[in-house]
Structures are given as C-alpha cells and as structure tokens.
Chains A and B, each alone.
Chain A
Amino acid sequence: MTPALEITGLRKAYGKKTAVDGLSLRVAAGEIFGILGPNGAGKTTTVECAEGLRRPDGGSVRVFGIDPYLDRPAARRIVGAQLQESQLPDKITVAEAVGLYASFYPDPADTEALLGRLGLTEERNTRYKRLSGGQKQRVSIALALVGRPRLVVFDELTTGLDPAARRESWRLVRDLRGDGATVLLVTHYADEAERLCDRVALIQAGRLAVCGRPDELIGHISGNDTSGNTATLDDAIVAFTTGEAA
C-alpha cells in the first residue's frame, strides 16, 4: 500500500543555515503520526516540504506517491494544512472563509456540518477579528478539513489552547482517523503525542533522532529510570534529546 508520506534523505537549508539534514521517515495511511523536537529542529520545514510550500534541496518527498512540489495542485487537493501563525483578513466572517476555501476543492465537506462539528455554528457570521484565540484556531482547523483531505497536517494544533480546548482537539484528531484520514501532528507536547499518536518521530538538528511507538520509546529508557515513577514519553524524549538513552 502506498504510504501516506514517504520522506527519503530530505535536505533543506536557508542560506548557510541547515534546517533539515538527511531526514527519512515513512507514515502509513491511517496513522496518527507525531513529530516532536526542540524549537528550530526542522519540524516545520519538514512538514512544509510535505505540503509543497518548500522546495527540498535534496532527497525526495512523496504524499500518497505524489511529489508535493512538482505536482502541487494534485498534492494540495489531498493535503489539508493547519499552518503555524497563519491568520485571515480581519473583516471576513467564519462562514465566508470556510465557504471560500470550500470552493477551492473538487469535493468539499458540507460547510455547515463542519462548522457544527467544530462548535462554530454560533460564530458563523462573526468577523475573524472578533473571535477568541481558541475560535480562530478552530477556524484554521475547519479550513484544513474543508477539502476532505487524505492527509491532514497540524502544526502546533494545541499551542495556546486551554485544557478543555486541547481535549476537544484531541477528540477531533481521533475522529479524523476514524473517517479514514492520516494525521501528521507537529507538537511540543509529549503528553499529547503519547495519548494520540500511533508512532512518533523525534527530530533533532534536522535529523531523525528516533522513531517508534510511544510505548517502545518509553520502554527504551525505563531501565535507566531510577526515580521509581512510571516513565512517560516526556521522560523518553528528554532522555533521547540529551543522549542518555543511547
């Protein structure tokens, strides 16, 4: 079966600064796959290459077998992106924005049902400027989903959300997988990845540090754990990042 995402030897530099340095990973269709790593590790650059927003300097990227840079229109029809720090015009209403984005795709979702599912029905005629941070985040999720993508990329989906909104987002991610989508989740939060992801990749300095099921990664380090507490993915990430697990 064609993998949802296959990255082989990806390299990308901005001027002299290397962002991604020979990264390879493979995400199977239907997986919830987490990408973890410190700031500046190359997580966002990696997913931007998968979204066709950046041209790789080397290596290859395939989304369901499609090169997302060379065949942008085809790839963008099947990839839904929620980007970091992307906003909308102040005076556009929620329903207008979602309706507009629906017109970009050949077989869009029912926009009213989508708004309902994201709890935005009450805000459908509210202008973007007047939305709360959490509501803006839900609008950006709606825009990512309105084209009924096969691969959904969430870049820092829950950053800045309150605990209840985070849990709501997690439920949504699980529902998406139930609908048959593959989810790529870029996150800072190991607890989020541990709860949601089938597998996680830890990226450090543009390279893959480790990749596997959360319980596998935890298993690697539990031998080193001397505190007596149950190890979490967070402990494992810290251990791999500092090299203690090697």
Chain B
Amino acid sequence: MTAIAAEPASPRRARRNAPRSAFRSLTVTEAKLLAREVAPLLWGVGFPMVMLYVVGTNSPGPDKSLGGISLATAYVPILIAFSCTTFALQGLSTVLANYRERGILRRMNATPVGAVRLLGAQLTVNLSVASIATLGVLFTGAAACGVPLPGQPAGFILAFLLTDAAMIGIGLLVASVARNGRMAGAIGTMIFLPLMFFAGLWLPQAAMPAALRTAGQDTPLGAAVAALQHSMAGQWPSAASLGVLAGYAVVFWLLAWRLFRWE
C-alpha cells in the first residue's frame, strides 16, 4: 500500500518551487477549461473575425459618412472592444461567481496556494484570449479587408491594455455583486448592450449625431474605440480617452477589491 500521509517532506522534492509551478498548472487548467466552452470562444473570437470579413468584403471602401474611412476600418476597434467585453463580462464574471457559489474559491483557500492565485490565473487566461482575438481581428482586417495594421503600435498596445483592464474591472465588479453564475450572466448582458452601443457596434461613432458621440466619449467603450481608432490611424491616442479608460479601470478595480467575497 502506498503511504499517503507522511511526516517530513523528502528534501529533493521540497526544494521544488511549489507556488510557481502551482500558478503555471492553475493557468494551464483554466485555459483548458475555457477551451472546452465552445460558445464563448465562438462568440468572442470567431464572431468578430467573421463579422469583419463579411463587412470588409462587402463594403465599397472609404465612406464620407464615416469621416473618410472604410466600414471595415471603423469596425476593427469596435470588434476588439467587443472581444474584451465578451470575455470579461460573459466569461470572467460568470466563472468567478460560479466558483464562489460552488465553494471552489473556499476550497482553494484551504490549500497552500490560495484563491488569489486562482484569480490571477483567470485574469491571465482572460487577457491572453482577448489578445488572441485582437490579433485575429487585426490580421483578418489586414489580409482580407485592406485595413492596415496599427500605425502607432505602442499607442495601440496601451489603448488595448487599458480597454481590457477596464472591462476586466467591470467583470470583477459583476462577480463581486452577483450571488451566482446565472445572476452574473444576466447582469453582464444588461451592461454589455449599453457599453457596446457607445462603442458603435450598431452605429459607428463617426456616423452618430454629434451630441451622442460627445456623450459616448465619457463611456468606457466610447473612449476605448476612439483610442484604438487613433492609434490604428498612426496617431497617439488622445490623453482624454486614455484618461477616461484609466479612470474607469481604477474605479472598477477598487470597487471590486472592496466588494469581492471569497465565499
């Protein structure tokens, strides 16, 4: 019979850096679990690429009503915002609320690793999959729709990271206030629609009435799309849109930090 309980750890294995390898296994496991969820991947990665392809291959090119850019060019930042928001609101928040409801966070807190690292693994996977979706949209745009890759790459990366930070902040906040995964999903959907409206999913910002467009600049995704759009066109994103995004990110993270419960 194999002895399961033991007194001292053997020196060879005790030297192994347990927390680091634990974080790696947690991240790999969370990535595998996400890969088994077909719907969020189709919706968050597949749908934006397909939609961009359809828009890009059926639109006539530069359009005066869009400020002189093509419809595909207008939609690239909108679809990037769409992916970040989908994974943060439909993915992260429901998974975390579900993990809390089912005692998975509490169980993790009874191990030497702790639930904070599980949360870290979730955020790592979430940022990674949003990055993959973003690259997918950029390359679809470049390869099939004549949308150049970002002219100001550093500004683009900054705008993307702030966008995802703000969206993950909302996802964490929803996970903090929702009692279970189903409620998190419902709240997420309710927030998703107005966020995406100001991103321009149904009507690109350039085509919005001026008053609506101005108001939209103070919403998280209105600012996100403007910042991404500017950096795609080769300019540095405006301080106003970066500031709005950073402000939302800080507020959402702080609120989530205060309100989050492990059980």
Contacts and interface: CB of A to CB of B under 8 A. Distances in A.
Contacts of B14: 106-107
B106 A83 contact: yes
B107 A86 contact: yes
A180 B103 CA distance: 29
Interface string B62-97: 000000000000000000000000000000000000
Given A87-B102, A114-B4, A145-B5, A53 B110 contact: yes
Contact of B4 (A89, A100, A179): A179
A103 B5 CA distance: 16
B5 A150 contact: yes
Given A96-B29, A107-B10, A117 B18 contact: no
Most chain B beta-carbon neighbours within 10 Å: one of A81, A107, A180 = A107
B22 interface: yes
A143 B111 CA distance: 10
A141 to B, nearest CB: 10
Contacts of B58: none
Given A92-B29, A92-B33, A107-B14, A176 B109 contact: no
A107 B9 contact: yes
Contacts of A166: none
Given A86-B107, A88-B104, A180-B7, A104 B32 contact: no
A147 B111 CA distance: 9
Interface in B21-60: 21-22, 24-26, 29, 32-33, 36-37
A110 B104 contact: no
Contact of A96 (B4, B32, B107): B32
Contact of B9 (A85, A104, A106, A176): A106
Nearest to A88: B104
A51 B102 contact: no
Determine chain B's interface SS by DSSP, over half rule.
Answer: loop
Contacts of A105: 18, 111-112
A152 B6 CA distance: 12
Contact of A83 (B9, B103, B112): B103
A55 interface: no
Interface in A32-78: 51-53, 72-73, 76-77
Q: Which of B13, B22, B107 neighbours the largest number of chain A CB atoms within 10 Å of its CB?
A: B107
Contacts of A150: 5-7
A96 to B, nearest CB: 6
A145 B4 contact: yes
A79 to B, nearest CB: 8
A113 interface: yes
A175 B33 CA distance: 34
A113 to B, nearest CB: 4
Given A89-B99, A179-B3, A103 B21 contact: yes
B112 A76 contact: yes
Given A87-B103, A88-B104, A114 B2 contact: yes
A101 to B, nearest CB: 7
Tell which of A104, A107, A180, A181 has the most Cβ of chain B within 10 Å.
Answer: A104
Interface string B103-146: 11011011111100000000000000000000000000000000
B104 A176 contact: no
Contacts of B32: 96
A195 interface: no
B26 A100 contact: yes
Contacts of B109: 53
Contacts of A117: 1-2, 4
Given A89-B99, A101-B111, A104-B22, A180 B5 contact: yes
Interface string A140-155: 0001010111101000
A91 interface: yes
B195 to A, nearest CB: 27
7 contacts: A53-B110, A76-B112, A105-B18, A106-B9, A110-B2, A145-B5, A180-B5
Interface of B: 1-7, 9-10, 13-14, 16, 18, 21-22, 24-26, 29, 32-33, 36-37, 99, 102-104, 106-107, 109-114
Interface of A: 51-53, 72-73, 76-77, 79, 81, 83, 85-89, 91-92, 96, 99-101, 103-107, 109-110, 113-114, 117, 143, 145, 147-150, 152, 175-176, 179-181
Given A72-B112, A114-B2, A179-B6, 9 more contacts: A81-B110, A83-B103, A83-B110, A100-B26, A101-B111, A117-B4, A143-B107, A152-B5, A179-B3
